[in-house]
Amino acid sequence: MARARTTRFVSGARWGAAVLACAGAVCLPLCAGAATASDADGPDSPFWAEPVNRPAKQAQIWQERGREEEAQAVRRIAVQPTAVWMTGDDPEEQAGRVVEEAERAGRIPLLVAYDIPHRDCGQYSSGGAPTAAAYREWVARAAAGIGERRAWVVLEPDAVAQWASGCLQADAKAERLGLLAEAVRTFKARRGTSVYVDAGNAGWISDQRLLAGALQQAGIAKADGFALNVSNFHTTSVTRAYGGRLSDLLGGAHYIIDTSRNGNGPLPPAPPGSGDESWCNPPGRALGTPPTTATGDPRVDAFVWVKRPGESDGSCRGAPQAGRWWSEYALGLATASPAPTQ
């Protein structure tokens, strides 16, 4: 299993390195004087940066208002390759647009499939497909949009970890892992698609044998690996230690790490009963390592930005709803100094 996954990844990395030489800079036309994605992302990064995005628009607004330092700071986010979360009842058009634009740029897009029934156990990002049948159709439409073009898909953030945490009702729990396994097969039927099943974060599921068993039922053997730290803040070193142990339980499975906001690690846990959610828009955090495939670990396929810094985790600490842009939080992330070691 590990050998097959390594072969696919090396081929993709070589492909990315080849196209980088001829792709040229990906410019942000909304921001005068902005850096290019090739200047800003990590070394050996084959990933696509959406040229028109919310941070870029925010930078333009601030520049027009004379807030040049703030505009320059938020451009640090705008130029980075960041995942596109597939939304709406029919993701085919969105997925198709993204992969087509990325292909023209000679880069690989990172997509997030996020529509599992009973999503987020009714919390800030609740929703998802109304039935299992609707979810199967949604996944089929997303895969059709990707077609045979190159893409990496992060499959259903939190879905497996929430299954393991016990927050799902019995009927939802009974169907979830099977639905994920079907989704893996549907996406992997597209020859250019790599799939990473989300596995939560280092501070969530302590019983890694339980988590590994859930991932196996969710189709990890047919996927390219698992994803860790999506939308969270755990440092890269802590995440690698956790991921290494989980990988061992899965026969050497590869994985990717979301480093978008982990430059200062997580906020310390709040006292029990305080009602303070330390994972939700914590203050004082910083940007992490830019997206790259140069991870220094043969089992870590890439550091990626799955969560776009500046998009809210949920309506806590005076923030807007989950997924909405919060300019002042983005500015805090972009101007904070990361810890010397991550």
3-state secondary structure the chain: CHHHHHHHHHHHHHHHHHHHHHHCCCCCCCCCCCCCHHHHCCCCCCECCCCCCHHHHHHHHHHHCCCHHHHHHHHHHHCCCECEEECCCCCHHHHHHHHHHHHHHCCECEEEECCCCCEHHHCCCCECCCCHHHHHHHHHHHHHHHCCCCEEEEECCCHHHHHHHCCCCHHHHHHHHHHHHHHHHHHHCCCCEEEEEECCCCCCCCCHHHHHHHHHHCCHHHCCEEEECCCCCCCHHHHHHHHHHHHHHCCCCCEEEECCCCCCCCCCCCCCCCCCCCCCCCCCCCCCCCCECCCCCCCEEEEEECCCCCECCCCCCCCCCCCCECHHHHHHHHHCCCCCCC
Known catalytic residue at 313: yes
Given 41, 115, 120, 198, which residue is catalytic?
A: 120
Residue in the structure block whose two tokens are 């994803």: 227
Known catalytic residue at 158: yes
Distance CA 12, CA 232 (A): 26
Given 198, 224, 258, 313, which residue is catalytic?
A: 313
Find, among 227, 17, 193, the residue nearest to 98 by Cα. Answer: 193
Distance CA 153, CA 114 (A): 10
Name residues whose C-beta falls within 8 Å of residue 141's C-beta, 6 or more positions apart in sequence: 90, 91, 92
Given 41, 115, 158, 301, which residue is catalytic?
A: 158
Catalogue the active-site residues.
Answer: 120, 158, 313
